[in-house]
Structure 1
C-alpha cells in the first residue's frame, strides 16, 4: 500500500506541478524529464529504462533492496505515464507549483524510504550510500538531485533552473523530515 501511495504522490507532483512549467526533479527522474521535454519520450518509461543498471546492481549485491524497490519503480513509472494528463489540469504559478510539487514528491519519496522501499533510480543509489556512510538519505538524495539539475543548467531557461533548484531543496527537506537519520 505504501508503494501505491508514494508512487501516486510522486506522479501527481511531477505531472501536476513540475511538467507544466518544464521544471526538473533530480536524479534519474530529472534525466527522464529532460528527455521528455526535448524529445517527447514518456517520462515513466524512460525512468524505468534508465533505472535498469541500478536494479541489476541491487539484484547482484543488495537483493533485499532489489525486491523492495523494483515494485516501487514499476508502479511509479506506470503512474507517471498514466497521470501525464494532469499537466493541463492545474493552472498555478510556477512558485506555487514548486512548493506543491516539492511537497508531493518529497512526501511520496519519504514515505517509501521510511518503509525501506523506493522508486528505484537514484533513490536506490542513495539508499546504498546512506547505509554505507551513515548519512541521512534525504541529504544524499538532495546532493544527487543537485548534481543532475546543475548539469542541466545549459538546457533550461534561467527561471526554470532556479525553480528546479528550489524544488529539489523542498524535496530534500521534506524527505529528510520524514526519514530521520536513525531510520536509515
Structure 2
C-alpha cells in the first residue's frame, strides 16, 4: 500500500506540474475528465481539482460495484491529483516557453504521471479508471484502451 501511495504522489505531482506549468498558461486543453474540468475553469473559473473529483462520481460508483481496489485507489488518485493541481497553481507564471514547446513538455509530463499510475494499476480517475476496469474485464492491455 505504501508503494501505491508513493506512485499516486509522484503521478499526481507530475499532473499538477504539467497542467499548471504548461497547459493552463496558454489556455490549452487536455482530454477526458481533466479536459472538462479545465474547460469549466476557463468558462466559469471553477476549481479544476474540485470539478474533476465531482465529475468522476459516476465512474467511482461503477468502480465501487466492480472492484473495490480500483475504486479506492482511483478515489485517492483523483483527490491527490486534484489537490496537486490546486497546490501547484503558482506554476502558471513560472515557465515562459513558446506554445509548441509547452504543448510537448506538458504532454510528456502529464503522460509520465498518468502512465506511472496506470502501470501500477492505479488511476487518477476519469477515463483512466474506466480504462483500467475495461482492461480487467477484457484482458486487453490498459495502454491500448487508454
**TM-score, normalised relative to structure 1:** 0.73
Query: Structure 1 regions of 5+ residues with no counterpart?
Result: 142-184
Q: Distance in 1 between matches of 2:75 and 2:58?
A: 12
Superposed, 1:31-180 pairs within 5 Å as 31-141=36-146
Give secondary structure in 2 for the equivalent of 1:135: coil
Q: Distance in 2 between matches of 1:88 and 1:23?
A: 15
**TM-score, normalised relative to structure 2:** 0.91
Q: Distance in 1 between matches of 2:63 and 2:9?
A: 21
Q: 1:3 aligns with which of 1, 8, 11?
A: 8
The count of aligned residue pairs is 141
Q: Is the CA contact 2:33–2:55 (under 8 Å) kept in the aligned structure 1?
A: yes
TM-align CA RMSD: 1.2
